Structure 1
Amino acid sequence: MDNLTHSLIGAALAQCGLKRRTGLAMPAMILAANLPDIDAPCAIYGVESLSMRRGITHGPIALLALPLLLAGALITFDRWQARRGKRPEGRLPVHPGWLIALCYLGTFTHPLFDWFNNYGIRLLEPFSSRWFHGDTLFIIDIWILIMLGTALWRSVKAERAGRASWAVPARLACAGVAAYVAANIAISHLAEQQVRNDAPYPVVAVANPVPIAFWQREVLWRTADGWYGSMRCTALSCVRYPRVMRRIGMDDPRIPGLAAKDPAARAFLFWSRMPVAEAGPKGILLKDQRFMNSPARGTFSVLLKPSR
């Protein structure tokens, strides 16, 4: 998910009452919820970063080590402020056990919500480079942002007014997000099943979440004999598009040799879940079916140029 969503998830959990357990709980939860994205600077490598993102920093070793490092840094910061006489008077005492626990909780929410979208995450790196895809939420889900943002505003307002029920809005929002995610899992599953059970009876069907219209899916399908297409579906029905069938094209014998010489192509094929190849006068364009209609589709494509 986007980092605003990750931040709101951490903040909402803290606002549920967890921030009263220890000093620095709120910044710990927000920072921890974004912590695995320390790999984000690799985006400067362009297409090659596809093989770098959501890997080692999202895997088990990092998920065990990073929360401890964050907690240690926050404890050190708190003590440094105390020595300088600049520790805020209103800050609760920092309890290392609680702070570590909250850092782990915030950090674990990150791979969970990254898994919910269709970009992919290598949850077992470095032990396995397998990609996992939840196909549940669009990468920026406006409804989650509204639920969490509104709840945080109401909760903080109630807290400042001295109301005993100040944590209730955040708790209701967290429960609402959980129910919303569960409903979206069901929508994706039912949409995929409809497409698999209809002609041309594809062997692969991926429910691609779409922005805003959470009840709909762009179900991408592939047949065993090399054709692909898509349908717009809800949990109950699908609409077949005109000219639905196109050749996947990945059986072009030139692709392995050309890709072996191109680092960007190797990175793309390592990451790509649904690669498509289109031969043209300039070369062979590799694309991923999941992002062919995305405004950022240029980021998810590589042009293989034949050697002269």
Structure 2
Amino acid sequence: MDPITHLMTGAVLARSGFNRKAAYATLAMTLAAEAPDLDTLWSIRGPIAAFQHHRGWTHAFLGLPLEAAVVVGAVYLFHRWRLRRNKPTKHSAPLRWGLLYGFALIALLSHLLLDWTNNYGLRPFFPFNPHWYAGSLVFIFEPVIFGLLLIALIAPALFGLINSEVGARKAAFRGRDWAIAALIAIVALWGWRAVEQRQAIQLALNSQDFGSDPGSVPILHVYAEPYPANPFRWQVIVDTPDFYQLAAVDTFANTVATNPHSDIFYKPAETAATLAAKQSWLGHVYLDWSKLPLVTQSDTDPITGAITVTFRDLRFMYDTSFMQGREDPPLSGTVTLDSAHRVTRIKMDGHVQH
């Protein structure tokens, strides 16, 4: 999920009751809810390094205890700084550092859960099990979840202003009911989307629009990828031995729309160029992550003999309000090879790896 959603999730979790148990709970849980994304610092070493390490050990169960310790340690240093600066140290809740550590772990787990629900996925058992897991229930940025969290954070302040106008006493802890309601609504949304996802897959399986002869085409897997906001709209990918076929499924109208001319992607045969590209740094990282890779090569340059091999993931090859998946698929990479099939350039999402 996006960083703002993670941060707001930590704050809403704290307001659901944890902030009543230990001082600095809101600060610690907000920081911890976003802490795993510190792996984006690998982007300093280039786009492939960032891609390789994103959602690695910082998103694994093994790394959470250390991350919780770092977060609580940072909060402790902040507390000591306030004491040295003679800042007010009165707290509405008692100082309980051990309890705060447990709350940070809960916030860190919320990060893993949110990332699992989208279609990028994560590796929670890394490094012992490098397998990627993705629920594909919601889009990487989900406006409905964002809105629920934002309301839970803003509404108590707005109602607090109204109460202050009428002279009501200001509560020490505000927004608990709003926070709990928002969290329940998010869980309900996931459940609703899981039902719609299964229905989308079933509609695709029952459709007679796949392949030139549907009865003779064995289906290996069927995947349903989410659109933002609309729980009834899904991009379904049917995986067969020879090709992938995409379809737009509407579970509300019970319709499956696919075009055999533009929605079928045949699995290309291996060539010396694609095999060499798959042995590159990008190739190893991409094929480790991608669930539905499409690896294609360009025509050979008649002057230099260079060939460009493109890596795309079919899970993201559809258009939304946030991306143009057909024209410019996100999370795509290219490997350029010379006439001897040696790697001369690697790019990820349009950025060259130096």
- Residue aligning to 1:283: 308
Q: Which TM-score applies when normalising by structure 2?
A: 0.79
Instruction: Write the distance in 1 (CA, Å) between the matches of 2:273 and 2:174.
Output: 65
Instruction: Write the distance in 1 (CA, Å) between the matches of 2:49 and 2:80.
Output: 41
SS in 2 for 1:239: strand
Shift of 1:107: 0.6
For residues 94-128 of structure 1, the C-alpha deviation after alignment (integer angstroms, 9 at most, x for no partner) is: 21132112111111100111000111201111111
Shift of 1:216: 1.0
Which consecutive unaligned segments of at least 5 residues does structure 2 have?
164-169, 300-306, 341-354
Q: Which of 282, 304, 322 matches 1:264?
A: 282
- Residue aligning to 2:191: 182
Shift of 1:50: 2.2
Matched, 1:31 2:31: yes
Distance of aligned partners of 1:165 and 1:249 in 2 relative to their CA distance in 1, 3 Å threshold: same
- Residue aligning to 2:245: 229
Matched, 1:273 2:305: no
- Residue aligning to 1:245: 264
Instruction: Write the distance in 2 (CA, Å) between the matches of 1:206 and 1:54.
Output: 22
Write the mapping of 1:64-103 to structure 2, written as runs, cut at 5 A: 64-90=65-91, 92-103=93-104
Shift of 1:259: 2.4
Instruction: Write the distance in 2 (CA, Å) between the matches of 1:181 and 1:209.
Output: 11
Runs of 4+ in structure 1 over 3 Å off: 87-93, 156-161, 163-166, 196-201, 250-254, 293-296
8 Å contact kept, 2:71–2:104: yes
Which consecutive unaligned segments of at least 5 residues does structure 1 have?
none
Matched, 1:139 2:155: no
CA RMSD of aligned residues (A): 2.3
Distance of aligned partners of 1:6 and 1:71 in 2 relative to their CA distance in 1, 3 Å threshold: same
Instruction: Write the distance in 2 (CA, Å) between the matches of 1:3 and 1:250.
Output: 39
Instruction: Write the distance in 1 (CA, Å) between the matches of 2:27 and 2:62.
Output: 23
SS in 1 for 2:235: strand
Shift of 1:67: 0.9
Instruction: Write the distance in 2 (CA, Å) between the matches of 1:298 and 1:219.
Output: 17
Percent identity reads 25
Matched, 1:255 2:274: yes
8 Å contact kept, 1:48–1:264: no
Instruction: Write the distance in 1 (CA, Å) between the matches of 2:176 and 2:294.
Output: 49
Distance of aligned partners of 1:304 and 1:227 in 2 relative to their CA distance in 1, 3 Å threshold: farther
Distance of aligned partners of 1:182 and 1:235 in 2 relative to their CA distance in 1, 3 Å threshold: same
8 Å contact kept, 1:75–1:94: no
Shift of 1:90: 5.0
Shift of 1:76: 3.3
Instruction: Write the distance in 1 (CA, Å) between the matches of 2:257 and 2:24.
Output: 53
Residue identity in the other structure for 1:208: E
Q: Which TM-score applies when normalising by structure 1?
A: 0.90
Q: Which has the higher contact order (CA 8 A, sep 6+)?
A: 1
For residues 112-159 of structure 1, the C-alpha deviation after alignment (integer angstroms, 9 at most, x for no partner) is: 110001112011111111111111010000011111101211123345
Shift of 1:276: 0.7
SS in 1 for 2:223: strand
Instruction: Write the distance in 2 (CA, Å) between the matches of 1:39 and 1:130.
Output: 18
- Residue aligning to 1:172: 181
Distance of aligned partners of 1:220 and 1:76 in 2 relative to their CA distance in 1, 3 Å threshold: same
Higher helix share: 1
SS in 1 for 2:132: coil
Residue identity in the other structure for 1:25: A
Instruction: Write the distance in 1 (CA, Å) between the matches of 2:37 and 2:31.
Output: 10
SS in 1 for 2:76: helix
Residue identity in the other structure for 1:301: G
Aligned length: 306
8 Å contact kept, 1:117–1:135: yes
Instruction: Write the distance in 1 (CA, Å) between the matches of 2:175 and 2:43.
Output: 40
Instruction: Write the distance in 2 (CA, Å) between the matches of 1:69 and 1:250.
Output: 48
